[in-house]
Structure 1
Amino acid sequence: MRILLTTALSLGLLSCSTSGGSGSQGSSSSSKEKVIAIQGDLKSYEYMLPNGLTVVLTPNSKAPTTSIFHWVKVGSLHETPGITGIAHLFEHMMFRPLQKDAPTFDTLIRPLGGDINANTRYGATVYTTTVSNGKLGEALKLESDRFKKLVVTDDLLKVEREAVRSEYSMGIDSKPQMDLWFTLYSAGFPNHPYGWTIVGDRPDLDKISAKDCNAFFQKFYKPNNVGLFIAGDFDLEQAKAWVLANYGDWQKGENPTEPAPFKNKGLIKAEGKLTAQNRNLLLGYRLDPINEKNFTLFTLADHLIANSASSLAKGRLVYGEKLASSVSSFNTDYDFGL
Structure 2
Amino acid sequence: MKKSILSLTSAVLFVFSTNAQKVEFEEYNLDNGMHVILHQDNSAPVVTTSVMYHVGAKDEQPDRTGMAHFFEHLLFEGTQNIGKGEWFKIVSSNGGRNNANTTDDRTYYYEIFPSNKLELGLWMESERLLHPIIKQGGVDTQNEVVKEEKRLRVDNQPYSRFLEYVKVNMFKKHPYKGTTIGKMKHLDDATLKEFLAFNKKFYVPNNATLVVAGDIDVNATKKMIQDYFGPIPRGENIIRTNIKEDPITEQMNAKGYDPNIQIPAVMAAYRTPSMKTRDSRILDMISSYLSSGKSSVMYKKLVDTKKMALQAGAINLSQEDYGTYILYALPQGETKLKDLVKEIDEEIVTLQSDLISEKNYQKLQNKFENNFVNSNSSVEGVANSLARYNVLYGDTNLINTEIDIYRSITKEEIREVAKKYLNPNQRLILEYLPEKK
Q: How big is the shift at 1:112?
A: 2.7
Distance 2:229 2:180 in 1: 29
Q: Alignment partner of 1:187: what SS?
A: helix
Q: Alignment partner of 2:32: what SS?
A: coil
Match among 134, 137, 148 for residue 166 of structure 1:
148
Structure whose residues are more often helix by fraction: 2
Q: How big is the shift at 1:136?
A: 1.3
AA matched with 2:52: W
Q: Confirm whether residue 83 of structure 1 aligns to residue 67 of structure 2.
A: no
Normalising by the residue count of structure 2, what TM-score does the alignment of the two structures yield? 0.64
Q: How big is the shift at 1:318?
A: 2.0
Match among 270, 280, 302 for residue 265 of structure 2:
280
Match among 315, 328, 332 for residue 313 of structure 2:
328
Q: Alignment partner of 2:152: what SS?
A: helix
Residue in 1 aligned with 2:4? none
Q: Alignment partner of 2:116: what SS?
A: coil
Residue in 1 aligned with 2:185? 203
Match among 97, 110, 120 for residue 128 of structure 1:
110
Distance 1:97 1:229 in 2: 22
Q: How big is the shift at 1:252?
A: 0.6
Q: Confirm whether residue 270 of structure 1 aligns to residue 251 of structure 2.
A: no
Contact 1:112 1:139 in 2 (8 A): no
Q: How big is the shift at 1:150?
A: 0.7
AA matched with 2:262: Q
Root-mean-square deviation (CA, aligned residues, Å) is 2.2
Shift in alpha-carbon separation, 1:74–1:101, aligned structure 2, 3 A: closer
Residue in 2 aligned with 1:316? 301
Contact 2:123 2:228 in 1 (8 A): yes
Distance 1:99 1:290 in 2: 39
- The C-alpha deviation readout for 1:148-177, integer Å capped at 9, x for no partner, is 111311100111111110100011110353
Contact 2:51 2:125 in 1 (8 A): no
AA matched with 1:85: G
AA matched with 1:222: V
Q: How big is the shift at 1:292?
A: 5.5
By relative contact order (CA 8 Å, sep 6+), the higher-ranking structure is 1
Distance 1:291 1:219 in 2: 26
Match among 47, 58, 61 for residue 42 of structure 2:
61
Contact 1:82 1:204 in 2 (8 A): yes
Contact 2:100 2:110 in 1 (8 A): yes
Distance 1:326 1:253 in 2: 48
Structure 2, unaligned runs of 5 or more? 1-19, 322-391, 394-437
Contact 1:318 1:326 in 2 (8 A): yes
Match among 298, 309, 312 for residue 283 of structure 2:
298
Q: How many residue pairs end up in the alignment? A: 300
- The C-alpha deviation readout for 1:214-245, integer Å capped at 9, x for no partner, is 11110001111000000122211111110001
Shift in alpha-carbon separation, 1:181–1:57, aligned structure 2, 3 A: closer
Residue in 2 aligned with 1:21? none
Structure 1, unaligned runs of 5 or more? 1-37
Distance 1:60 1:329 in 2: 36
Residue in 1 aligned with 2:329? none
Contact 1:66 1:133 in 2 (8 A): yes
Q: How big is the shift at 1:265?
A: 4.1
Distance 1:115 1:191 in 2: 39
Contact 2:76 2:87 in 1 (8 A): yes
Shift in alpha-carbon separation, 1:301–1:244, aligned structure 2, 3 A: same
Normalising by the residue count of structure 1, what TM-score does the alignment of the two structures yield? 0.82
Shift in alpha-carbon separation, 1:128–1:268, aligned structure 2, 3 A: farther
Distance 1:142 1:273 in 2: 43
Sequence identity percentage: 27
Structure whose residues are more often strand by fraction: 1
